[in-house]
């Protein structure tokens, strides 16, 4: 993406970072579970805590040491009471929302073995 700079002025590439998000993120902490099938076909699950949500995805802190690879298909299930939160997109209000691992981040606490996952929702958008 090009950036217009007036003649005589300079801009460092690091100073210009376009926001590629198409939906606003809402910081919200909700509890839930991730579920997936591992490479051996065994059903697995892990407790999660959301950090933020948007119409297209969510950032979760996995509360176990589950080690999921990029692009793994997962199911997101929020706790029954948490699914009633009005800030949630329609797909997360359902019992099971399909998603894919879009980004893996280290835990906020370096002493924990868990990971944070950015999930891309695969369900119909609001």
When the candidates are 3.40.50.720, 3.65.10.10, 2.40.10.220, 3.40.800.20, the CATH number that belongs to 25-121 is: 2.40.10.220
Cα(99)–Cα(107) distance, integer angstroms: 20
- pLDDT tens for each residue of 51-71: 999 999 999 999 888 889 999
Q: Which residues, 6+ apart, have CB-to-CB distance to 89 below 8 Å?
A: 53, 54, 55, 56, 121, 125, 126
How many Cβ atoms from other residues are within 10 Å of residue 60's Cβ?
25
Q: Which range is most confident: 37-41, 66-70, 98-102? A: 98-102
The tens digit of pLDDT for each residue in 101-121 reads 999 998 877 887 778 999 999
Domain boundaries, the chain: 25-121
Mean pLDDT, residues 40-56: 94
């Amino acid at each position: 993406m090009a950036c217009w700079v007036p003649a005589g002025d300079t801009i460092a590439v690091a100073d210009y970072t376009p926001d590629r998000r198409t939906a606003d993120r809402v910081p919200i902490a909700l509890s839930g579970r991730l579920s997936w099938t591992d490479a051996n076909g065994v059903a697995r699950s892990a407790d999660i805590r959301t950090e933020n949500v948007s119409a297209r995805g969510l950032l979760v802190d996995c509360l176990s040491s589950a080690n999921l690879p990029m692009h793994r298909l997962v199911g997101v299930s929020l706790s029954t009471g948490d699914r009633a939160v009005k800030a949630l997109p329609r797909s997360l209000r359902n019992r099971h929302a399909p998603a894919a691992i879009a980004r893996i981040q280290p835990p906020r606490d370096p002493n924990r073995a868990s990971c944070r996952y950015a999930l891309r929702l695969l369900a119909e958008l609001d």
